[in-house]
Every structure is written in structure tokens, then in C-alpha cells.
Structure 1
């Protein structure tokens, strides 16, 4: 009898193949559970510095300028890719625009509602605190039902809330509306570098339109017009998203989950599972430690922006008595600097890695804190450089988050980590406003040294950020094969032909196994 021949392809119908196939699909969309053994923990901490200094460019055959060149990657983007990217970018921009509508108008809103600036910062704090609720609700919906429907629902809610923000007449109404706003909440490195820093453009837009709408309503209440204008922008996005297709990436992930369910004995839908996303529980079992790490990291990220931006206009207006025209110029330049910072830092992270680039940005930002918040009348250009560094650092965060999260529940885990970080940093403006009251300016009753407070607060944050990123993990270029690891014909037709295709593959595997057994006999 001849030796049993080696079978290169095992039939998908054998028990071994079922487990192998299930494990393959499982590993492709989920992470492994963390290893809590003493040796694993020791190895992890021992490799933080070596991995930080193990630059990706040392493993590349391309020259550095070929790696950072964004043109080849941007040429690969299809009209569909651009449409999806711009949809996400636009909603992110409007979200930023609305948030900073409060920030740049804090003194005027406070005067209208007869409260202090400190009280108004609570409206900003409530937005950030309750965004975690929105992350859970809409993140789960996006992973379960697709990206399109939650996006449209967000636009509807956004429009209603913006209109209501413009008609509030009491401080309590203002807090209630802002709290509701907090609840509703895409080439890799280059796109990441421009995505998050667009938040700085939203800041600039808020300042520019605040200046443009000045005098359009009652004296000191032009901020109401700003909110109503923002409501109209969200209507445009609602129509745009309605006529755009569902995310192909989500369709692929849905089909992977379906295959995994078919290959898991006894895994059937019941009434509860039809309306919930059961994969969330599997993700939480494997990624709970990652979620904690990302939450801490994004708390630091959020502290850096809110600590340096939220009370900046208040500082310029109240402490330095700058004209609204000069303030508009400064904030506009900061928005441009933010985009430049993102465009530079995103691609550069391809050379030295995500963690090392974030580390460099944090050190850079710390060096510019003092000139950005002291003697601002003369040194305000330094604040423009600081804005470029802060948002440039943020420009790396999107691609880092994409590489760290699993494919099964990326919207939920990514959004929840970001918004829990927002929750942790939500009181930034309130803390700074309260601390500033400990530094009154002599001879100017009711005026406080906001610059000193912001400098001290932000310095502590950047120090903590440096420690956090050194201790963080990194999965450079992970999840890269997302769009290529399945048969496109199987996954891109909304799942209509997926069952037939999968059955044909099973039958093909059966024939191969039978043929091999006959030859052996």
C-alpha cells in the first residue's frame, strides 16, 4: 500500500475543515484574547522602547520620498472611495463647526442667558460627556445595519438640535439641547492626516461665520443665526447620503459574520439577535484590554485639543481685548496650520511608525506652549504653530485606530474608545475656567489669567501623552488587506448571491476530497 498522499485542499465538509474554515474567518475579523501570563507581560513592557525605535523605513526598499508621496495612493482612490471619504469628512466638519459655535461665542451666550462663562462651558462639557451614549447607540447600529441609515438619522437629529439651540431663552434649555447634541455621533496615512485636522477648519469656520453673522439678530445674540445656519448644512448632507450607496466594506464584514455563523453549530438567530449585534460580546471578550488602552490614549488626545482650544477665543476676547477681526484671522490661520500639520505628520508616520510620530508631535507641542499663551498680543503666531502640531498629532490617530480595532465591530469600538476619551476629557474647559478664577488679573475685576491656566493644564497633558504613547501597542499596517481578502463577486452584491457561491465552493471541495480518496484506494 502506498503512503497516503498529501491532500493540499481539505474538503470544507469534513469536521476538521469546518473548524479550520471557522477559525480562518474568525481570525480574520476578531482578535485573540490578551495573554495575562507573567512572561507575556514582561515581554510586552520590555519591547516598548525597541518597537518604538524600530522604524518602518528600515524595512522598506523604497526611498523615503517615495513612501511619503501621496500621489500614487490618491490615484488609486475610485469615485466611490472619494464619495465615502467626503461624506465622513463633511459630517465631521459640521460637528466641529457646531461645537465651536459655542466656544467662540461663549461670552455672548453667557451675557444673553445671564450666566457666567464658566456656566456656559458646562454646555460644552455635557456635549462631550454624552457622546459616549451616542457612540454605543449609533456604533452598534452602524455595525448591525450598515453605515447609511445611522448617518441619515444623525443628520435629521442634527438639524432639529441646531434649530433648537438657536431658540433657547434660558440656561437650562441651553444645557438640555446641548446634552442631546452630544448623543448622536473613513491612501491610509495621507487621508488620515487630513481627516481629523479638518476639525480645526470647523473651528475656523465657526469664527469666520460668527464674524459674518454679527449684527444679523438682536444685539449680542447673533450666535442664534450661527446655529440656524449650521442646521441648513446638515440638511445638505442628509440628501447627499440618501443618494449614496451603502459602504462596501460593511457589506464585506456582514458576509464574513454570516459565514462564521453558518460554520458555528447551534448559532441561530432568535428574536433578540435579530435586533441586536451579538458579535459585540465576542469583541468585548477579546478586546476589553484594547478598549481600555484606546480610551486612555484618546482621553489624552482629547485633552490636548480641548485644553488648547476651548477657551482660547475667550482668552483673546476677555483677557487680551483683541478685536473680532484679529481673532478671526488668528483662528483661520490655526485651521490652515492644522491641515498642514496633518498632511505632514500623517505620511511621515509611514517612515517612523505611528507611536514615534505621535511622540515627536507631543514634544514639539510642549515646546510651543509658553509662547502660545503668554504675551499673546505679540506672540500669537506661536499659537498658530501649536495648532498645527496638535492637529498634526491628531492626523495620525485615525490610521492608528483603524489598524488597532478588529473588523467585526470597528465602528463601535473605534467610536466608543474615542468618545469615552471625550468623556474623560469633557470637563477640560470647565476645569480651566475654574482654575483661571484662582489667577485674577490685578486692576481688572472679573478678568482672569486664562493663558496661564491653559499653559499649565496643557503642559501636564502633553507629559501624560508622552508616557501613554510609549507604553501603547502598535499594529503597523494591520487590517490592510480588508478589501482584498474575499472574493469581490461574493461580497459586493449586497449578499444576494453569497449563499450560492459559498455552496458551490463547498461542493467543489467535496469533489476534490472524493477524487483524492479514489486515487488513494
Structure 2
């Protein structure tokens, strides 16, 4: 098919040439795309960025079933965030309840983040092999039950044990929720929907903070917040029971795709052999992003109460406004990444958040902290708003649930000590506040750490790949994208036969003119 695009040099091969090409492409306004012709021959072209479309028209492209899948994915991610932040925003209450320090309570956050990758692997693979529906149902119901178990933890040791188990099931939510929501959206609407979807995390924080504000500051009220989170998670699980499996998974089954264990593992081996560098890159990127998120928010309420002397209610109100900025920024910047490019948007948002660090930690009033918190989280979660669709486009199409979930949660695992590090360093470094009182140095510690993280995100993203516009929804489930014959599967060897000739390959169901 003839195009009017300018020809481009072919894709670089190797880590350093690819990084060099990625950096150069970042400063080229046109987008590099890969064109596949009818003979499966490939060449690169430069294409003008697609103009931004009216968001109302983009919303109108989604039918009621697509909206249903999207909203349940959003609610699952929101419930997941509510359950997590029910702990982080009540650190001082829990420390008083268990008669320990804030740093000791943040150990529960570390354990939760450490074990999320295990849940991401289990539920991600289950979602790619068996469909999105029942893994998500089980995941959300058990998540709610573990919230209830946390309430009845009689000792601090029991509390830590339950929060560790909680991390396993919390880790399974992201991959299935993201893939279910975005694979059912039209391609040109995915930037906007990705920005909205990612803000389920911030929305969950806002809901948890509002609930915390509503129950008051007494120590035992932390249990009420956990009860609300438990009901939320279980309700989402039951809602997911009421509608069918994802369209793509059902169509693959109707087409007669078989998913034998041999084909499943054979395709997995082929993917890892081909995509291991991409896996490592995405884990590294998610490590920086998870440090970015947790360092800038998990200790912020504690910072406002202990260093800025805000009342518990004032600190909670400021946190709510901070996360409202996150919801707005993630939606807007995720939407504009459809035109501006995924990597360019991430880099610009990260740099803007870095410039705002002094304004973020220096104010002393509730109004000042609310405004500065709103603005920095506008850009922090603005960069995050691009991540769901960026990861989905970078993932091997058949593995978009497990790949997205596992790389995200492995990055989370590496960054899991972030809250504990901030609390420990801050409590070991005493400064004098504006009122002349000694206080842990939460502000300086969070500011320096966030600045380092911004540099890491900018460098990693600038040297990385981008595959905006990729048609990842075309692939069937794992094991359905290879043609297998007899004993080849048992040995892990997958062969496909076309026109009487056997060749080792993975079947490519994507359109011939695909942006990569």
C-alpha cells in the first residue's frame, strides 16, 4: 500500500545503537513507524503525528460494552489503590495502635510492595491463558477478605504477616485491569483512556483520604477505613461476575485456537528469547516510576503533620487536593501523549515536577501545601498517565496482561523500600521547623530523592523505545499464536507449516500497516 510518508533508516540493532537512535528520534517531530507490506517485508517511514481529536468524540467511539470493561478495570484499580493507601495515610494511627514507630509501620508497605510481583506473575499468566474474568473475580474477593483479616490482627507481627499476603493478591490487579480496559478501546482513544485509567490509583487515594477525614483522627478509627476498602474490593469482584469474558479472548476461542500446555510454554520461551531486553528495560523503567510515585506521596501526610504542624484534618484535606491534581494531570497528559508522543510527554512531565520541588516542600500553610502538592502531582501522575498504554504497546501482544503486570510489579518490588528509606533517613535527620521545634527532615529527604528519581526517569525514557499506535489487541491468548505439530511441543520446539515448508516462527496476526 503506497504512502506519502518520508522513508526512514531501518531500526537499529543492539543496545547502544538502539539507545542512540531512540535519543535522536526524540528530537524529530515526525514519528518513526514500521510498514509491513503484503509479502511481510518491512521498512521504516516517518509519519506526521496524528492530530488530537475532540475527547467527546473519542468517548463516543466506545460502545456500552467497551465502557463496561473500561469502568470495571478502572474500579478494580481504584479499589486496589484504596486498599493500599488505607495503610499509608494512617501511618500515625497504626503506629499509636501497635505502639511502634512510623518507620516500623512503613515496613508493612515494603512487604506489600515486595510480594506484589509474585501475584502479578500468577494472575497475569492466568489472565493471558484463561481470560480476564475469573482471575480478576478471585483476586478482588480475596483482596477484600485480607482487608478484613488486617482489622483483626491482634499483634504487630500478625499485622505484618497479613499485609505480606495482601501484597500477593494486590499485585494481580494491575495487569488484568489495564489489559481488559485498554484492549477493548479504539486505538486512537487509548491515550485519553490510559490517562483516565491510571488515575484510578490517585482516585483510590482520594477516596481513602476522604474516608479517613470522615471517620476522624482517633486511633481506632483506622479499622473503619479498612472495612470500607474491604467492601469496595469484594463489590468489584461480584460486579465482574455479571458480564462476559473480554471480546478478544472469546473470539480467539471461537476461531478454534488451542491452548495446550506445550504450546503455552513454547510460545512463552520464544517470547523470552526474543524480548528479554525489552523485559529488562520495562522493569528498569517501572523501578524509577514506582520510586517516583511512592517517594513523592507515601510520607507526604506525615511530613505535613510533623514538619509543617498541620492538624490531622488539615493534612488530610491537603492530601485530597494533592491527589485531585494527580487525577487531572494524568488524564490531560495521557490524552495529549496521543499527539505529542509517549516518551516526549513522560520526559516533559518529569522535568516539570523536578522544577516544582522547592515550591512543593517549602510552604508552611495548608493553602500553600495544597496548591504546591496539586501542581507537583499534576506532573508526577501526568507522566504516570502515559504508562498503561506505553507498557501495553511495548509488550508482546499475547502477553499484554502478564507482561504489563509483571514488569510493573517487579519495578515495584525493587522500589519497595522507598517509604521505609524516606522515613528512616528523615527520622535520623532532625531539623528545626518554622515554629522553632525539632522535627524529622521529611521535606529535604523527599525533595532530594525526588530530584534524583526525575533524572533517572528522563535518562531511561530518552534512551528507550516507543511503539505508539501498535495493534496489540489482534493477538489471541498465549499458545494460540503458534502452529504446533506433534512432539515438537514436548521438546519446547514450535514449528509452523505453510505451503509445505516448516519454519520456526510465531504467527503474526497484526495488520500489515502497523505502527511499532
Match of 2:374 among 366, 373, 384: 384
- Between Structure 1 and Structure 2, the one with more strand by share is 2
Task: Report SS of the residue matched to 2:397.
Answer: coil
In the other structure, the counterpart of 1:220 is: 219
- Quote the offset at 1:310 in angstroms: 0.4
Using the TM superposition, give the Cα deviation of residue 71 of structure 1 relative to its aligned residue in structure 2, in angstroms: 2.2
TM-score between the two structures when normalised by the length of structure 2: 0.79
CA contact 1:128–1:423 (8 Å) conserved in 2:
yes
> Is the CA contact (8 Å cut-off) linking 2:80 and 2:233 kept in structure 1?
no
Q: Displacement, 1:49?
A: 2.3
CA apart distance, 1:142: 0.6
Q: Could you tell me which of 162, 183, 193 is aligned with 2:168?
A: 183
**Once superposed, what is the RMSD of the aligned Cα atoms?**
2.6
Q: Which runs of 5+ in 1 are unaligned?
A: 1-34, 262-268, 492-508, 511-521
**Quick check: 1:449 aligned with 2:441?**
yes
Residue 108 (str. 1) matches residue 108 (str. 2) = no
TM-score, length-scaled by structure 1: 0.78
Deviation at 1:277, TM superposition (A): 5.1
SS at 1:344 equivalent: helix
Q: What residue number does 1:198 align with?
A: 200
Matches within 5 A, 1:232-271: 232-252=231-251, 258=257, 269=260
Q: Which has the higher helix share?
A: 1
Map 1:341-356; keep pairs closer than 5 Å: 341-356=329-344
Deviation at 1:317, TM superposition (A): 1.5
Q: In 2, are the aligned partners of 1:319 and 1:449 still within 8 Å (CA)?
A: yes
Secondary structure of residue in 1 paired with 2:431: coil
**Pair 166,277 (structure 1): closer, same or farther in 2 beyond 3 Å:** farther
Structure with larger Rg = 1
Deviation at 1:86, TM superposition (A): 0.8
Higher mean alpha-carbon deviation, 321-330 vs 106-115, is at 321-330
The answer on 1:89 being equivalent to 2:85 is no
1:43 aligns with 2:13: no
Structure 1 residues 169 and 325: CA distance shift in structure 2, 3 A: same
Distance 1:59 1:439, change over 3 A: same
Instruction: For residues 141-197 of structure 1, give each alpha carbon's deviation from its aligned partner in whole angstroms, at most 9, with x where no partner exists.
Output: 111111111011012211210101112121111111111111112220000011112
Local SS of the residue matching 2:81: helix
> Could you list the per-position Cα deviations for residues 203-251 of structure 1 after superposition, in whole angstroms to 9, with x for gaps in the alignment?
1111110111227xxx411001111111111221122111110011223
Quote how far apart the aligned CAs of 1:40 are.
4.1
**8 A contact 1:101–1:226 mirrored in 2:** yes
State which of 71, 88, 93 in structure 1 corresponds to 2:56: 71
Contact 1:253 1:407 in 2 (8 A): no
Checking the alignment, whether the CA contact within 8 Å between 1:148 and 1:247 is kept in structure 2 is yes
1:415 is matched with which residue: 405, 408, 413? 405
> CA separation of 1:477/1:90 partners in 2, compared to 1, >3 Å: closer, same or farther?
same
Distance 1:161 1:61 in 2: 46
Corresponding position of 1:313: 301
CA distance in 2, matches of 1:81, 1:206: 27
- Take 1:255 and 1:128, find their aligned partners in 2: how far apart are those partners? 38
